Amino acid sequence: MTRVGSIDCGTNTIKLLVADLDPASGTEEQLVREMRIVRLGQDVDRTGRLADEAVARTLAAVEEYAAILDEHRVDALRFCATSASRDASNGDEFRAAVRERLGVEPEVVSGDEEAALSFDGATRALQATDLPRPFLVVDIGGGSTELVLGDTSVDAARSLDIGSVRMTERLMPSDPPTPDEVAAAADAIDAALDTLPSFGVDPSRAATVIGVAGTVTTVATLLAGLDHWDRERIHLATFPVDDVHALTDRLLHLTVAERIALHVPRGRADVIGAGALVLDRVLRRTPAERLLVSDADILDGMAWSLVHRED
């Protein structure tokens, strides 16, 4: 067994996984899975730089994670920074601060690698099942959305700049968003999705759609009628696509306060409408009747990549 840690630092959240991996059997024992909503990508789309207060929030979470990693004595650690760090002019300063606290070199992964890691994490436990192929993994982040089509490995992948934070800040700033704002956001999402076939990602080919990351798990929690995240209830559960469409419409008509009253986390309540809209528009391009939700995601792909590196 190899004990590894992975940290995914995205636009809206920073997540930690500590797991014991057995390459021989392919088994993963999760020891710690944590998430903090830090909004590192606050205003990056407008200013082109990481806000000081956003960096402070994120580094506070990094220090929490450093203590957890020390406690569990991991053999290897990988820290990946995604959309916000790719876009920010002061990303180098942020990465230096992370390096100082964790003793590991932060990686700014490309959109393609982000997609591949998400696919591996989401599908690894599903490969032995009889689920119809190909899989389409949909990873909706704060700054970008990754769509990955494949069977046992990636056939094609594309990262699009249509994340929940980016779409909210750019096109849906009102509370609740106006009909014109929603229409503009839907048009922007559709325009981005229209480019997918030219990169080999054709959602109409998807036999099983797998949604990962915070937008999808929050939507699933609401669809399940829960007032808090419950991995036992949600991980690998499926939900009717029509229910996703109906919930998206409902969320887009609610204020942030009303979303919080539904138990949407405060750090996600202002952007869940845009995130759900991305999911809604993707699903409309697939033949899927149900959405499969996975709590295994890029963190798991990153963790296994550490074992493969050792090989």
**CATH at residue 98:** 3.30.420.40
Question: Is the per-residue pLDDT at 224 higher than 60?
Answer: yes
| 213 has a pLDDT exceeding 70 | yes
How do residues 245-286 score in pLDDT, each as one tens digit?
Answer: 999 999 999 999 999 999 999 989 999 999 999 999 999 999
Region 148-155: mean pLDDT is: 92
Give pLDDT tens digits for 107-118: 988 777 888 898
Do 155 and 275 lie in one domain? The reply is yes
Structure tokens at 269: 């309540």
Q: Is residue 145 a part of any domain in this protein?
A: yes
pLDDT for 294 equals 95
CATH code (residue 135): 3.30.420.150
User: Are 13 and 91 in a shared domain?
Assistant: yes
Largest CA-CA distance found in the chain, in angstroms, rounded: 54
Q: Per-residue pLDDT for 288 more than 90?
A: yes
Tell whether 116 is covered by a domain.
Answer: no
Helix axes 241-252, 272-283, angle to 10 degrees: 150
The closest alpha carbon to 294, from 132, 127, 138, 80, belongs to 138
The per-residue pLDDT for 87 is: 66
Q: Both 139 and 282 in a single domain?
A: yes
Query: CB of 58 within 8 A of CB of 38?
Result: yes
pLDDT score at 151: 93
- Residue-wise pLDDT for 41-61, tens only, equals 888 878 889 999 999 999 999
The helices-and-strands tally (H runs, E runs) of the chain is: 14, 11
pLDDT value for 131: 95
Please check whether residues 62 and 209 belong to one and the same domain: no
Whether residue 73 is found in the same domain as residue 176: no
Instruction: Say yes or no to pLDDT of 28 above 60.
Output: yes
Work out the pLDDT band at 9, boundaries 50, 70, 90: very high
Query: What pLDDT does residue 83 have?
Result: 59
Query: What confidence score (pLDDT) does residue 111 get?
Result: 73
Task: Please check whether residues 49 and 82 belong to one and the same domain.
Answer: yes
- Whether residue 186 sits in one domain with residue 43: no
Yes or no: say if 201 and 284 are a contact pair by the CB < 8 Å rule: no
Residue 123 in this model has a pLDDT that exceeds 60: yes
Q: Is the pLDDT of residue 310 over 60?
A: no
Res 114: pLDDT: 80
The answer to whether residue 140 sits within a structural domain is yes
Pick the closest to residue 256 from 267, 270, 273 (CA basis): 270
Domain match, 102 and 139 both: no
Q: What region, left, alpha or beta, does residue 26 occupy, with left being phi > 0 and alpha being psi -120 to 50 degrees?
A: left
Number of domains in the chain: 2
22 in a domain, yes or no?
yes
Task: Determine, yes or no, domain membership for 134.
Answer: yes
Based on the fold, state whether residues 163 and 272 are members of the same structural domain.
Answer: yes
Confidence of residue 309 (pLDDT cuts 50, 70, 90): low
The distance of Cα 89 from the centroid of its chain, to the nearest Å, equals 23
Enclosing domain of residue 93: 2-111
Position 302 in a domain:
no
Q: In this predicted structure, what is the pLDDT of residue 121?
A: 93
- H helices of the chain, in order, are 44-47, 52-72, 83-87, 91-102, 111-123, 164-171, 179-193, 214-223, 231-234, 241-252, 256-261, 266-269, 272-283, 298-310
Give 177's DSSP letter: P
- Looking at residue 86, its pLDDT comes to 64
- The reply to whether 305 falls in a domain is no
* Interval 154-163: pLDDT, tens: 999 998 999 9
Same domain, residue pair 176 and 29: no
